[in-house]
Structure 1
Amino acid sequence: MFFIKNREVVLPGQELGEGVGAGDNCFMEGAKVFSAVQGLVGVDKNRNAVKVIPLVGSYTPHERDVIIGVVEDTFMERYYLNIRSAYEGVLDEGGNKARDRGGGRGRNDYRRPVEKYELGDILSVKVASVNEVNECVLTGPYKLEGGMIMEISPKKVPRVIGKNKSMITALREKTGCRVVVGQNGWAWVKGKNADLVAGAIRKIEEEAHISGLTDRIGQMLDA
Protein backbone atom coordinates (compact mmCIF):
# COMPACT_ATOMS: atom_id res chain seq x y z
CA MET A 1 0.00 0.00 0.00
CA PHE A 2 1.32 3.44 -0.98
CA PHE A 3 0.72 6.40 1.32
CA ILE A 4 1.84 9.03 -1.20
CA LYS A 5 1.16 9.96 -4.81
CA ASN A 6 3.58 9.75 -7.71
CA ARG A 7 5.69 12.94 -8.05
CA GLU A 8 4.75 14.11 -4.55
CA VAL A 9 7.49 16.04 -2.74
CA VAL A 10 8.41 14.31 0.53
CA LEU A 11 10.66 15.02 3.52
CA PRO A 12 13.32 12.86 5.19
CA GLY A 13 11.68 10.28 7.43
CA GLN A 14 8.27 10.56 5.77
CA GLU A 15 6.39 7.26 5.50
CA LEU A 16 5.84 6.27 1.87
CA GLY A 17 4.13 2.93 2.07
CA GLU A 18 3.83 -0.48 3.66
CA GLY A 19 4.44 -3.86 2.07
CA VAL A 20 6.13 -2.31 -0.97
CA GLY A 21 9.70 -2.38 -2.29
CA ALA A 22 12.20 0.26 -1.20
CA GLY A 23 14.15 1.83 -4.05
CA ASP A 24 16.76 4.59 -4.20
CA ASN A 25 16.97 6.91 -1.18
CA CYS A 26 14.45 4.90 0.85
CA PHE A 27 14.83 2.72 3.93
CA MET A 28 12.67 0.12 5.62
CA GLU A 29 11.58 -0.46 9.19
CA GLY A 30 9.74 -3.73 9.27
CA ALA A 31 7.30 -3.69 6.38
CA LYS A 32 7.15 0.12 6.24
CA VAL A 33 9.12 2.25 3.75
CA PHE A 34 10.39 5.75 4.55
CA SER A 35 12.17 8.45 2.58
CA ALA A 36 15.82 9.03 3.48
CA VAL A 37 15.96 12.45 1.79
CA GLN A 38 13.87 15.41 0.73
CA GLY A 39 12.84 14.62 -2.80
CA LEU A 40 10.38 13.72 -5.50
CA VAL A 41 8.59 10.39 -5.22
CA GLY A 42 8.60 7.87 -8.04
CA VAL A 43 5.91 5.21 -7.64
CA ASP A 44 6.22 2.07 -9.77
CA LYS A 45 2.93 0.21 -9.37
CA ASN A 46 3.97 -2.50 -11.81
CA ARG A 47 6.92 -3.44 -9.58
CA ASN A 48 5.10 -2.42 -6.38
CA ALA A 49 8.06 -0.25 -5.39
CA VAL A 50 8.87 3.35 -4.58
CA LYS A 51 11.97 5.52 -4.90
CA VAL A 52 12.85 9.14 -4.12
CA ILE A 53 14.86 11.49 -6.36
CA PRO A 54 16.79 14.00 -4.18
CA LEU A 55 15.92 17.67 -4.57
CA VAL A 56 19.32 18.84 -3.40
CA GLY A 57 22.40 19.25 -5.54
CA SER A 58 25.43 21.30 -6.49
CA TYR A 59 24.30 23.09 -9.63
CA THR A 60 25.34 26.74 -10.02
CA PRO A 61 22.97 28.54 -12.41
CA HIS A 62 24.12 30.70 -15.30
CA GLU A 63 22.13 33.03 -17.50
CA ARG A 64 20.53 31.26 -20.51
CA ASP A 65 20.92 27.76 -19.05
CA VAL A 66 17.97 25.52 -19.88
CA ILE A 67 17.17 23.46 -16.79
CA ILE A 68 14.50 21.27 -15.21
CA GLY A 69 12.80 22.35 -12.00
CA VAL A 70 10.14 21.04 -9.63
CA VAL A 71 7.44 23.36 -8.27
CA GLU A 72 7.68 23.27 -4.48
CA ASP A 73 5.85 26.44 -3.42
CA THR A 74 3.67 29.22 -4.80
CA PHE A 75 2.70 32.67 -3.52
CA MET A 76 1.08 35.69 -5.17
CA GLU A 77 1.48 34.61 -8.80
CA ARG A 78 5.03 33.44 -8.11
CA TYR A 79 6.22 29.87 -8.34
CA TYR A 80 9.26 28.69 -6.41
CA LEU A 81 11.12 25.82 -8.05
CA ASN A 82 13.69 23.43 -6.70
CA ILE A 83 16.42 23.49 -9.33
CA ARG A 84 18.90 21.22 -7.52
CA SER A 85 20.90 24.20 -6.34
CA ALA A 86 21.57 26.40 -3.34
CA TYR A 87 19.88 29.07 -5.46
CA GLU A 88 16.10 29.34 -5.40
CA GLY A 89 14.37 29.22 -8.76
CA VAL A 90 11.65 31.88 -9.11
CA LEU A 91 9.08 31.99 -11.89
CA ASP A 92 6.82 35.04 -11.73
CA GLU A 93 3.79 36.00 -13.79
CA GLY A 94 5.90 37.85 -16.36
CA GLY A 95 8.22 34.89 -16.85
CA ASN A 96 5.25 32.55 -17.00
CA LYS A 97 3.99 34.35 -20.10
CA ALA A 98 7.14 32.95 -21.72
CA ARG A 99 10.20 34.83 -22.82
CA ASP A 100 12.90 34.13 -25.34
CA ARG A 101 14.25 30.58 -25.10
CA GLY A 102 16.14 30.66 -28.36
CA GLY A 103 17.87 33.53 -30.12
CA GLY A 104 16.09 36.81 -30.42
CA ARG A 105 18.88 38.92 -28.89
CA GLY A 106 17.12 38.78 -25.54
CA ARG A 107 13.76 39.92 -26.87
CA ASN A 108 10.53 38.01 -26.34
CA ASP A 109 10.29 35.71 -29.34
CA TYR A 110 6.90 34.25 -28.48
CA ARG A 111 4.26 34.16 -25.80
CA ARG A 112 2.21 31.34 -24.38
CA PRO A 113 -0.98 31.68 -22.33
CA VAL A 114 -0.29 32.03 -18.61
CA GLU A 115 -0.46 28.56 -17.05
CA LYS A 116 -1.22 27.48 -13.52
CA TYR A 117 1.00 24.88 -11.90
CA GLU A 118 0.61 22.53 -8.96
CA LEU A 119 3.14 21.48 -6.33
CA GLY A 120 5.29 18.69 -7.73
CA ASP A 121 4.88 19.75 -11.37
CA ILE A 122 8.03 19.31 -13.43
CA LEU A 123 8.97 22.22 -15.72
CA SER A 124 11.62 22.88 -18.33
CA VAL A 125 12.66 26.51 -17.88
CA LYS A 126 15.36 28.93 -18.92
CA VAL A 127 17.53 30.96 -16.53
CA ALA A 128 16.85 34.63 -17.25
CA SER A 129 19.15 36.04 -14.56
CA VAL A 130 20.76 35.35 -11.19
CA ASN A 131 20.56 38.18 -8.66
CA GLU A 132 22.55 39.22 -5.61
CA VAL A 133 20.25 37.47 -3.11
CA ASN A 134 20.78 34.05 -4.69
CA GLU A 135 17.49 34.07 -6.56
CA CYS A 136 17.52 32.45 -9.95
CA VAL A 137 14.91 34.17 -12.12
CA LEU A 138 13.30 31.77 -14.58
CA THR A 139 11.35 32.18 -17.79
CA GLY A 140 9.86 30.25 -20.74
CA PRO A 141 8.29 27.38 -18.78
CA TYR A 142 7.22 24.18 -20.47
CA LYS A 143 5.42 21.56 -18.40
CA LEU A 144 6.77 18.02 -18.63
CA GLU A 145 3.87 15.64 -18.00
CA GLY A 146 4.18 11.99 -17.09
CA GLY A 147 7.44 10.24 -17.84
CA MET A 148 10.28 9.74 -15.39
CA ILE A 149 12.94 12.04 -14.00
CA MET A 150 16.49 10.94 -13.24
CA GLU A 151 19.51 12.55 -11.66
CA ILE A 152 22.88 12.87 -13.37
CA SER A 153 26.04 14.81 -12.58
CA PRO A 154 25.83 18.38 -13.97
CA LYS A 155 29.44 17.91 -15.10
CA LYS A 156 28.37 15.01 -17.32
CA VAL A 157 25.49 16.88 -18.99
CA PRO A 158 27.59 18.04 -22.00
CA ARG A 159 28.54 14.40 -22.69
CA VAL A 160 24.92 13.26 -22.45
CA ILE A 161 23.87 15.96 -24.90
CA GLY A 162 26.89 15.35 -27.15
CA LYS A 163 28.69 17.48 -29.72
CA ASN A 164 26.12 19.27 -31.85
CA LYS A 165 23.47 17.39 -29.81
CA SER A 166 24.57 14.13 -31.41
CA MET A 167 24.12 11.92 -28.33
CA ILE A 168 20.71 13.19 -27.23
CA THR A 169 19.52 13.02 -30.84
CA ALA A 170 20.57 9.36 -30.99
CA LEU A 171 18.76 8.64 -27.72
CA ARG A 172 15.57 10.17 -29.09
CA GLU A 173 15.66 8.73 -32.59
CA LYS A 174 16.72 5.18 -31.72
CA THR A 175 14.19 4.76 -28.88
CA GLY A 176 11.28 6.95 -29.93
CA CYS A 177 11.32 8.54 -26.47
CA ARG A 178 11.02 12.17 -25.54
CA VAL A 179 14.20 13.17 -23.73
CA VAL A 180 14.96 16.50 -22.05
CA VAL A 181 18.29 17.04 -20.28
CA GLY A 182 18.63 20.07 -18.03
CA GLN A 183 21.99 21.67 -17.43
CA ASN A 184 21.32 21.32 -13.71
CA GLY A 185 21.66 17.54 -13.97
CA TRP A 186 18.05 16.39 -14.14
CA ALA A 187 16.89 14.45 -17.15
CA TRP A 188 13.27 13.73 -18.08
CA VAL A 189 12.36 10.72 -20.22
CA LYS A 190 8.97 9.64 -21.55
CA GLY A 191 8.16 6.68 -23.78
CA LYS A 192 7.85 2.90 -23.84
CA ASN A 193 11.65 2.55 -24.01
CA ALA A 194 12.32 4.92 -21.08
CA ASP A 195 14.23 2.22 -19.15
CA LEU A 196 16.55 1.73 -22.13
CA VAL A 197 17.25 5.47 -22.30
CA ALA A 198 17.91 5.58 -18.55
CA GLY A 199 20.38 2.72 -18.87
CA ALA A 200 22.14 4.46 -21.75
CA ILE A 201 22.43 7.70 -19.78
CA ARG A 202 23.95 5.81 -16.84
CA LYS A 203 26.45 4.21 -19.22
CA ILE A 204 27.34 7.63 -20.64
CA GLU A 205 27.96 8.91 -17.10
CA GLU A 206 30.15 5.97 -16.16
CA GLU A 207 32.16 5.79 -19.41
CA ALA A 208 32.33 9.47 -20.39
CA HIS A 209 36.13 9.37 -20.16
CA ILE A 210 36.53 6.33 -22.44
CA SER A 211 36.89 6.85 -26.18
CA GLY A 212 34.40 5.25 -28.58
CA LEU A 213 31.45 5.95 -26.29
CA THR A 214 29.14 7.14 -29.07
CA ASP A 215 29.57 3.87 -30.96
CA ARG A 216 28.99 1.77 -27.83
CA ILE A 217 25.80 3.68 -27.00
CA GLY A 218 24.61 3.24 -30.58
CA GLN A 219 25.18 -0.51 -30.38
CA MET A 220 23.38 -0.66 -27.03
CA LEU A 221 20.33 1.15 -28.42
CA ASP A 222 20.28 -0.99 -31.57
CA ALA A 223 20.51 -4.31 -29.72
Structure 2
Amino acid sequence: MGHNTLDDASASSLHLSMLQQVIGRDSANHMLQRYNMLQRYTKSFHGFAARLTEEEAAKLSGMEGIVSVFPSRMNKMATTSSWDFLGFPITAKRSTKESDIIIGVFDSGIWPESPTFSDKGYGPPPAKWKGICEANFTCNNIIGARHFKADGMYDPKEFKSPRDDDGHGSHTASTAAGNIVSNANLLSLHSGTARGGVPRARIVVYKICCTTRKKAITGAKSRR
Protein backbone atom coordinates (compact mmCIF):
# COMPACT_ATOMS: atom_id res chain seq x y z
CA MET A 1 0.00 0.00 0.00
CA GLY A 2 3.04 2.25 -0.33
CA HIS A 3 4.54 4.69 2.15
CA ASN A 4 3.03 4.59 5.62
CA THR A 5 1.40 7.90 6.60
CA LEU A 6 -0.89 6.54 9.32
CA ASP A 7 -0.34 5.73 12.97
CA ASP A 8 -0.46 2.07 13.96
CA ALA A 9 -4.05 2.11 15.24
CA SER A 10 -5.39 3.84 12.13
CA ALA A 11 -3.44 1.53 9.82
CA SER A 12 -4.72 -1.53 11.68
CA SER A 13 -8.31 -0.35 11.40
CA LEU A 14 -7.92 0.33 7.68
CA HIS A 15 -6.34 -3.06 7.01
CA LEU A 16 -9.13 -4.92 8.79
CA SER A 17 -11.79 -2.82 7.06
CA MET A 18 -10.38 -3.54 3.60
CA LEU A 19 -10.02 -7.23 4.34
CA GLN A 20 -13.55 -7.36 5.67
CA GLN A 21 -14.86 -5.82 2.44
CA VAL A 22 -13.02 -8.46 0.44
CA ILE A 23 -14.11 -11.59 2.32
CA GLY A 24 -17.55 -10.41 3.46
CA ARG A 25 -18.95 -7.97 5.98
CA ASP A 26 -20.50 -10.76 8.04
CA SER A 27 -17.05 -11.91 9.17
CA ALA A 28 -16.24 -10.92 12.75
CA ASN A 29 -13.04 -8.92 13.32
CA HIS A 30 -11.54 -11.50 15.68
CA MET A 31 -11.94 -14.19 13.04
CA LEU A 32 -10.20 -11.96 10.49
CA GLN A 33 -7.29 -11.46 12.85
CA ARG A 34 -6.98 -15.12 13.78
CA TYR A 35 -7.26 -16.69 10.34
CA ASN A 36 -7.17 -14.30 7.35
CA MET A 37 -4.91 -11.51 8.62
CA LEU A 38 -1.42 -13.01 8.78
CA GLN A 39 0.79 -9.95 9.27
CA ARG A 40 0.54 -6.17 9.20
CA TYR A 41 3.33 -3.81 8.15
CA THR A 42 3.13 -0.32 9.65
CA LYS A 43 6.70 0.84 10.19
CA SER A 44 8.83 1.44 7.11
CA PHE A 45 5.98 0.77 4.68
CA HIS A 46 2.23 0.29 4.67
CA GLY A 47 0.57 -3.04 3.92
CA PHE A 48 -0.50 -6.44 5.16
CA ALA A 49 -0.30 -10.15 4.40
CA ALA A 50 -3.53 -12.11 4.32
CA ARG A 51 -4.87 -15.56 3.50
CA LEU A 52 -7.09 -15.08 0.43
CA THR A 53 -8.57 -17.00 -2.47
CA GLU A 54 -7.60 -15.97 -6.02
CA GLU A 55 -10.96 -14.21 -6.41
CA GLU A 56 -10.52 -12.31 -3.15
CA ALA A 57 -6.97 -11.30 -4.10
CA ALA A 58 -8.24 -9.99 -7.44
CA LYS A 59 -10.95 -8.00 -5.70
CA LEU A 60 -8.42 -6.52 -3.26
CA SER A 61 -6.07 -5.51 -6.07
CA GLY A 62 -8.81 -3.33 -7.57
CA MET A 63 -9.50 -1.37 -4.41
CA GLU A 64 -8.44 2.24 -3.97
CA GLY A 65 -5.16 2.63 -2.07
CA ILE A 66 -3.73 -0.74 -3.14
CA VAL A 67 -0.41 -0.47 -4.96
CA SER A 68 0.05 -4.17 -5.66
CA VAL A 69 -1.08 -7.63 -4.59
CA PHE A 70 1.26 -10.58 -5.06
CA PRO A 71 1.25 -14.18 -3.82
CA SER A 72 3.70 -15.60 -1.32
CA ARG A 73 6.17 -18.19 -2.57
CA MET A 74 7.28 -21.46 -1.06
CA ASN A 75 11.08 -21.53 -0.85
CA LYS A 76 13.33 -24.48 -0.09
CA MET A 77 16.37 -24.40 2.15
CA ALA A 78 19.52 -24.49 0.02
CA THR A 79 22.55 -24.42 2.26
CA THR A 80 25.07 -24.99 -0.54
CA SER A 81 23.69 -22.00 -2.47
CA SER A 82 23.91 -19.30 0.21
CA TRP A 83 26.86 -17.39 -1.25
CA ASP A 84 25.36 -17.54 -4.74
CA PHE A 85 22.11 -16.19 -3.30
CA LEU A 86 24.04 -13.29 -1.76
CA GLY A 87 25.59 -12.46 -5.13
CA PHE A 88 29.04 -13.91 -4.46
CA PRO A 89 29.39 -16.77 -7.00
CA ILE A 90 32.13 -19.38 -7.00
CA THR A 91 33.57 -17.75 -10.13
CA ALA A 92 34.14 -14.44 -8.34
CA LYS A 93 37.63 -13.00 -8.78
CA ARG A 94 39.72 -13.74 -5.70
CA SER A 95 42.82 -12.01 -4.39
CA THR A 96 46.13 -13.80 -3.88
CA LYS A 97 46.22 -12.10 -0.47
CA GLU A 98 43.24 -14.13 0.70
CA SER A 99 45.39 -16.75 2.44
CA ASP A 100 46.83 -14.01 4.67
CA ILE A 101 43.39 -13.32 6.15
CA ILE A 102 42.93 -14.80 9.62
CA ILE A 103 39.40 -15.44 10.89
CA GLY A 104 38.90 -16.04 14.61
CA VAL A 105 35.98 -18.27 15.63
CA PHE A 106 34.77 -18.36 19.26
CA ASP A 107 32.42 -21.33 19.42
CA SER A 108 32.17 -25.03 20.31
CA GLY A 109 35.45 -26.02 18.64
CA ILE A 110 36.22 -27.54 15.26
CA TRP A 111 36.52 -30.93 13.51
CA PRO A 112 39.83 -30.68 11.59
CA GLU A 113 39.46 -33.89 9.57
CA SER A 114 36.45 -32.52 7.70
CA PRO A 115 37.20 -32.01 3.97
CA THR A 116 36.16 -28.38 4.34
CA PHE A 117 39.27 -27.79 6.46
CA SER A 118 41.75 -29.63 4.21
CA ASP A 119 45.23 -28.09 4.01
CA LYS A 120 45.75 -29.09 0.37
CA GLY A 121 47.34 -26.24 -1.56
CA TYR A 122 48.10 -24.11 1.48
CA GLY A 123 51.49 -22.64 2.20
CA PRO A 124 52.86 -21.75 5.64
CA PRO A 125 50.78 -19.58 7.99
CA PRO A 126 51.10 -15.80 7.63
CA ALA A 127 54.34 -14.53 9.16
CA LYS A 128 52.38 -12.24 11.49
CA TRP A 129 50.69 -15.21 13.21
CA LYS A 130 52.17 -16.16 16.60
CA GLY A 131 49.47 -18.49 17.99
CA ILE A 132 49.50 -22.25 18.54
CA CYS A 133 47.45 -25.39 18.01
CA GLU A 134 47.05 -27.43 21.17
CA ALA A 135 45.87 -30.90 22.11
CA ASN A 136 44.97 -33.84 19.91
CA PHE A 137 45.03 -32.72 16.31
CA THR A 138 47.43 -31.23 13.81
CA CYS A 139 46.73 -27.79 12.41
CA ASN A 140 46.46 -27.26 8.66
CA ASN A 141 44.58 -24.28 7.30
CA ILE A 142 43.43 -24.11 10.91
CA ILE A 143 46.50 -22.25 12.12
CA GLY A 144 45.44 -21.89 15.75
CA ALA A 145 43.26 -23.88 18.14
CA ARG A 146 42.81 -23.56 21.88
CA HIS A 147 40.14 -24.40 24.43
CA PHE A 148 39.17 -22.64 27.64
CA LYS A 149 37.22 -23.86 30.62
CA ALA A 150 37.63 -21.88 33.82
CA ASP A 151 36.23 -24.47 36.24
CA GLY A 152 38.10 -27.42 34.68
CA MET A 153 34.96 -29.61 34.92
CA TYR A 154 34.26 -31.69 31.82
CA ASP A 155 31.21 -33.68 30.84
CA PRO A 156 32.08 -37.30 29.87
CA LYS A 157 30.89 -36.54 26.32
CA GLU A 158 33.16 -33.52 25.97
CA PHE A 159 36.58 -33.45 24.36
CA LYS A 160 39.27 -31.93 26.55
CA SER A 161 40.60 -30.10 23.52
CA PRO A 162 39.53 -27.67 20.79
CA ARG A 163 37.80 -30.57 19.02
CA ASP A 164 34.13 -29.86 18.32
CA ASP A 165 31.57 -31.46 20.66
CA ASP A 166 28.34 -30.76 18.79
CA GLY A 167 29.20 -29.50 15.30
CA HIS A 168 28.14 -25.89 15.73
CA GLY A 169 31.66 -24.48 15.74
CA SER A 170 32.64 -26.47 12.65
CA HIS A 171 29.53 -25.27 10.84
CA THR A 172 30.27 -21.64 11.73
CA ALA A 173 33.93 -21.85 10.74
CA SER A 174 33.16 -23.56 7.42
CA THR A 175 30.55 -20.91 6.59
CA ALA A 176 33.17 -18.22 7.04
CA ALA A 177 36.25 -19.89 5.53
CA GLY A 178 35.52 -23.48 4.48
CA ASN A 179 37.28 -24.91 1.43
CA ILE A 180 35.36 -25.73 -1.75
CA VAL A 181 33.81 -29.21 -1.34
CA SER A 182 31.94 -30.77 -4.26
CA ASN A 183 28.87 -32.99 -3.88
CA ALA A 184 28.16 -31.85 -0.32
CA ASN A 185 24.71 -32.79 0.96
CA LEU A 186 22.62 -33.50 4.02
CA LEU A 187 21.31 -37.07 3.97
CA SER A 188 21.53 -36.98 0.16
CA LEU A 189 19.35 -33.85 0.00
CA HIS A 190 20.24 -30.79 -2.08
CA SER A 191 23.64 -31.94 -3.25
CA GLY A 192 25.88 -29.06 -4.30
CA THR A 193 29.22 -27.33 -3.80
CA ALA A 194 29.73 -26.15 -0.24
CA ARG A 195 32.19 -23.34 0.45
CA GLY A 196 32.94 -20.53 2.81
CA GLY A 197 32.77 -16.84 2.06
CA VAL A 198 36.57 -16.62 1.97
CA PRO A 199 37.68 -20.21 1.16
CA ARG A 200 41.44 -19.59 1.31
CA ALA A 201 41.46 -17.66 4.57
CA ARG A 202 43.10 -19.13 7.68
CA ILE A 203 41.05 -20.19 10.70
CA VAL A 204 41.85 -19.72 14.37
CA VAL A 205 39.40 -21.47 16.67
CA TYR A 206 38.83 -20.85 20.36
CA LYS A 207 36.54 -23.41 21.98
CA ILE A 208 34.67 -21.53 24.69
CA CYS A 209 31.19 -23.12 24.45
CA CYS A 210 30.93 -26.38 26.35
CA THR A 211 28.18 -28.78 27.40
CA THR A 212 28.62 -28.38 31.16
CA ARG A 213 28.92 -24.61 30.83
CA LYS A 214 25.56 -24.50 29.05
CA LYS A 215 24.05 -26.51 31.91
CA ALA A 216 25.59 -24.22 34.49
CA ILE A 217 24.22 -21.10 32.79
CA THR A 218 20.77 -22.66 32.57
CA GLY A 219 20.90 -23.55 36.24
CA ALA A 220 21.96 -20.05 37.20
CA LYS A 221 19.01 -18.59 35.33
CA SER A 222 16.58 -20.99 36.96
CA ARG A 223 17.69 -19.94 40.46
CA ARG A 224 16.89 -16.26 39.89
So what's the TM-score if we normalise by structure 2?
0.21
Higher RCO (C-alpha 8 Å, min separation 6): 2
Richer in helix (by share): 2
Richer in strand (by share): 1
